[in-house]
Amino acid sequence: MIRWILPAVVAAFLGGCVVRQWQACSDANCNLCKGTGQYACKTCNGAGTQPCGGCKGAGTLGPCQTCKGGGELQCNQCESAAPGRQKCKGCDNTGLTKGRPCAQCKGQKTINCGKCGGQGSNPGGQKCPHCDGVGKNLCKECGAQGMIGAGARCNTCSGSGWHTCVACSGSLKMACMTCERKGKLDCKTCNNRGAFQCSACRGQRTYKHGQWVDAK
């Protein structure tokens, strides 16, 4: 309204033009405003908001079809033979530590004979008596096991070879990732609000009714 009054006032001051001002409707018989000077926005019926077309004003897209609205699914990460548990990968389900490869024999359990260099015979072509012609000796560093520290109790599973299923924490149920355990699908169009601010009245719900008249 100010943007109309200010130019009129300036024009009147400079050129003697008639100043116009806003006069609200006060006619009790007015079919539009009933004498209140205000009428409701027909676009939103005076609500100030319009229902979201994506969810039809519901705020959600209905029950999640993946979990049927329950928000959870049967866990598929548990071991079938042991519901609620998983095999310990730290010990390959044995309950015993796998250890680390022996640095001396590289996990091979044997090393080249130090006398014949792994040839199995001496320079004269005779069988090496230190390795009986094999060219290898058992690794003393790891006791011919190939691993260091193997066979101890696995601390990860306390020697059981199993641990609680990390997906369901032993409950046999896991969260439905489609609805993130809510049981309903979010309406991304309106962020679950169900409505938007009316674009016609910008949420104000009503309009002013009246007319511009010459000031006396």
pLDDT band at 3 (very low <50, low <70, confident <90, very high): very low
Tokens of 186: 């979010």
Largest CA distance in the chain: 135
Query: Cα–Cα distance between 167 and 148 in angstroms, integer?
Result: 33
pLDDT of residue 77: 92
For the chain, the domains span 1-40+206-216, 100-148
Tokens of 188: 């991304």
pLDDT tens-place string over residues 20-59: 888 888 888 888 888 888 888 888 888 888 888 888 888 8
Q: What is the dihedral of CA 23, 24, 30, 31, to 10 degrees?
A: 120
Tokens of 38: 């205000």
pLDDT of residue 216: 63
Tokens of 73: 């699914």
pLDDT tens-place string over residues 182-200: 899 989 888 888 888 888 8
* Entry pTM: 0.44
